[in-house]
Amino acid sequence: MRRCALVFLAAAALNGCQSLVDQSYQPNVSPSANPQIVSEVQKNDPRAQMGAREHPRIVASYGGEYKDAKTERLVARIAGALTSVSENPQQSYRITILNSPAINAFALPGGYLYVTRGLLALADDASEVAAVLSHEMAHVTANHGVERQKREEAEVIASRVVAEVLSSDIAGKQALARGKLRLAAFSRQQELQADEIGIRTLGQAGYDPYAAARFLDSMEAYSRFMSANSDADQSLDFLSSHPSTPQRIDLARDHAREFGEDGKVGDKGRDYYLDGIDGLLYGDSPEEGYVRGQTFLHGGLGIRFDVPPDFRIDNKVEAVLATGPGDIAIRFDGVADSQNQTLTNYISSGWVTGLDTSTIKPMTINGMEAATAHASADRWDFDVTVIRDKSQIFRFLTAVPKGSAALEQTADILRASFRHITPAEAASLKPLRVRVLTVKPGDTITTLASRMMGTDRKLDLFKLINALQTGASIAPGDRVKIIAE
């Protein structure tokens, strides 16, 4: 089960680009006849050693590797065609599909490339995935990872000097802000350079060069879909360190025009792409449990609980997080019960900051030993509830703004709903997957969207994963993706 400190904020984000582009595949372009063996080529490469050090951490933080022979062959096919015409065909790559529903791709120095299964589910054809990979390959061949690391190390040293000399006065803060902006400008330059190199590689490999702009459009649509009815805020650091999407789309189309007119150059590779992702795991994996509406269920652990209405559950690798109205937040995780001490002693054993020991009390929750307590820190009040089940201690942390009356109400809902799942519930838990269907006479966008599972916005998600614009239509014989068991 998940092990982590009782902290709401996630660990530092990966130093990778969040920009995604799409590309196409040319069937008559094949991988190199003399493929490089990664371990041999990179044996004495310090850049590869840097990537190798970070690789296990990245794989672990993204839920491990996604193992599926059909999907792996698909990604290898696309990457092989790109490698043969890349800026540095001698560069070897190690491509990992991450077992994460997040939509992301990034690169590490030395040829370590990563793409999530969530991105593969969103992409509409091989050319779009090729665009992502060629962009990330461009970061590797241009040594952006090494350059940025050096720049950030220098900036950290400079920031420390400024902080020591100027303390926290206005001049010091302004100097630190200017340092962040210098890093942001450097990042923008890298991203745009990777776009240009990547699209050139696409066109030379015979892919549809307009796939880059097309997938950026899909990413923009996905961002709108995810932010609907959400309090999520875009951080200034993210916006300042990445080019705006409209700018990137315009520039991507400009680069693509060098190869010809949109729709008349390159191959999209949609049919073999759909064949390669049919059955792809979508959303939560069985190892991490499932989110179904306001409920979290875990078949392996045999437990379930509900969050209040209007809360949004986010099933992370390290914990289950939920956020709701009024800045209320919930964290759920579990640790091994190695010492078998009383739960009242466990709560007071030092892992809770700001604990009010006078509030610790034992209780029973649906037949399971439990304990609860209150804590306070900074601007927050917390309810801490721990529950013992066999060899596990499950932990709920509920946080509300200091003085909020919602603390007990929210914690009570969690405690009352936490229970063992029934055998029938466990048997019914099946992962969602991407299923590829052929449109039949009488099928419409609406009727096909009604078959979507795992979302209450069936039509919106159906259009999104099939890149269907407003006013688009489908015809018998077309192939579409749905999300189903």
d(CA 165, CA 350): 36
Query: 483 - beta bridge partners?
Result: 434
- 121 neighbors 145 (Cβ within 8 angstroms): no
Say if residue 146's pLDDT is above 90. Answer: no
d(CA 216, CA 261): 18
Mean pLDDT score, 25-44: 41
d(CA 167, CA 338): 45
Nearest to 19 by CA among 182, 197, 270, 176: 197
pLDDT band at 228 (very low <50, low <70, confident <90, very high): low
- pTM beyond 0.75: the answer is no
pLDDT recorded at residue 257:
93
d(CA 452, CA 481): 9
Least confident span in 53-62, 115-124, 203-212, 363-372 = 53-62
pLDDT recorded at residue 44:
54
d(CA 225, CA 207): 28
Say if residue 179's pLDDT is above 60. Answer: no
- 394 neighbors 303 (Cβ within 8 angstroms): yes
pLDDT recorded at residue 62:
85
Q: Which two tokens stand for residue 39?
A: 């371990």
Say if residue 185's pLDDT is above 80. Answer: no
d(CA 355, CA 373): 8
Each residue's pLDDT tens digit, 78-95: 999 998 887 676 777 889
Least confident span in 86-100, 253-267, 468-482 = 86-100
> With pLDDT > 90 as the criterion, what percentage of the chain qualifies?
48
H or E element: which one contains 368? strand 368-377
pLDDT recorded at residue 245:
67
Of 378 and 205, the structure prediction assigns the larger pLDDT to 205
pLDDT band at 433 (very low <50, low <70, confident <90, very high): very high
d(CA 31, CA 29): 7
Of 172 and 476, the structure prediction assigns the larger pLDDT to 476
Each residue's pLDDT tens digit, 303-314: 999 999 989 888
Chain centroid to Cα 459, Å, comes to 23
CA distances from 12 to 109, 152, 234, 327, 478 (A): 18, 14, 16, 22, 43
Mean pLDDT score, 133-137: 88
Mean pLDDT taken over the chain? 79
Least confident span in 192-196, 402-406, 414-418 = 192-196
Chain centroid to Cα 84, Å, comes to 29
State which amino acid sits at residue 363. M
d(CA 223, CA 137): 24
Count of residues making up the chain: 485
pLDDT recorded at residue 86:
75
Q: At what angle do helices 69-83 and 170-205 cross, to 10 degrees?
A: 90
Each residue's pLDDT tens digit, 306-361: 999 989 888 887 789 999 999 999 999 999 988 889 999 999 998 888 999 999 99
Any idea which residue has 């070897």 for tokens? 92
Say if residue 8's pLDDT is above 60. Answer: no
pLDDT band at 239 (very low <50, low <70, confident <90, very high): very low
pLDDT recorded at residue 329:
93
Contacts from 297-302 at CB under 8 Å and sequence distance 24+?
A: 297/421, 297/425, 297/429, 298/421, 299/421, 299/426, 299/429, 301/1, 301/334, 301/389, 301/392, 302/389, 302/420, 302/421, 302/426
Q: Which two tokens stand for residue 117?
A: 């299964």
Going by C-beta distance under 8 Å and a sequence separation of 6 or more, which residues neighbour residue 137?
A: 82, 83, 86, 87, 91, 93, 107, 113, 198, 201
- Give all domains of the chain, ordered by start, each with its CATH number: 45-281 (no CATH), 304-410 (3.40.1000.10), 433-484 (3.10.350)
d(CA 129, CA 109): 20
Each residue's pLDDT tens digit, 187-208: 667 777 888 888 999 999 999 9
- 215 neighbors 123 (Cβ within 8 angstroms): yes
- Following DSSP, what letter does each residue of 5-54 receive, concatenated? -S-SSPPPPPSS----------TT----SSPPPHHHHTTT-HHHHHHHHH
d(CA 26, CA 259): 14
pLDDT recorded at residue 90:
72
Say if residue 274's pLDDT is above 50. Answer: yes
